[in-house]
Every structure is written in C-alpha cells, then in structure tokens.
Structure 1
Amino acid sequence: MFDANFYDVQTNEEFWFSGPKRDRTDARYGPSNPEIDPEAVETYHAFLEGAPLPGRESG
C-alpha cells in the first residue's frame, strides 16, 4: 500500500480515505468533488454548515 490507507479485503483494491473538511478540500491531492453515499449526504451537508460528525460530538 504505497499510496493508500485502506484496502478491500475481497479484491485487494487500494483506497485513500480522507476525512471530510469544512473547506471542502476532501481529496488527498488538491480540490475535487467527493463522491458521497446517498445515505450520508444530509450528514455531510450538516457538517459543512458546522454540525459535528456523528461519533465526534465531543471533539
């Protein structure tokens, strides 16, 4: 895993996951439009508006 921090245990496909950032620079290298799961869109937009991420309400 030279340039990844996660991999799929079934396919060995490598991924880089970055946490969301309020300035929308979610990609590892430069700005991009992240792909957001439909189930997470509402939470993501709430985070961009200042809400804490689920599970990180205390920091």
Structure 2
Amino acid sequence: MKCVLALMLSMVLSGCTTNDWLDAASGIMQAKDKNEKDARNKRIKAANKAAGY
C-alpha cells in the first residue's frame, strides 16, 4: 500500500499525467525489445557465419 501511495504522490508532484507515464514506459519497453532483437540477430548471424552459411 505504501508503494502505491508513493507512486501516486510522485505522479502528482512531478506534474506528469498518467498518459505521460504510460508513453514513457511504452518507449522504454520498445527500446528494450529492439535491443534484444538486435542482439539475437547478431548471435544468429555469427552462428551462421561460423557454420559456413
């Protein structure tokens, strides 16, 4: 309960709306997903190169 209260208080004091917080969280998640996808593609390309494909 304290965490929820602290989160609500920080949102009110920061002046950001819920939509702003959701947009920020969405951007972070998209960047993380892209980074993971790029890393996976690098590993696949390296494995294919090592296998001679």
Q: TM-score range by the shorter chain?
A: under 0.3
Higher strand share: 1
Rg larger in structure: 2
Q: Which has the higher contact order (CA 8 A, sep 6+)?
A: 1
Higher helix share: 2
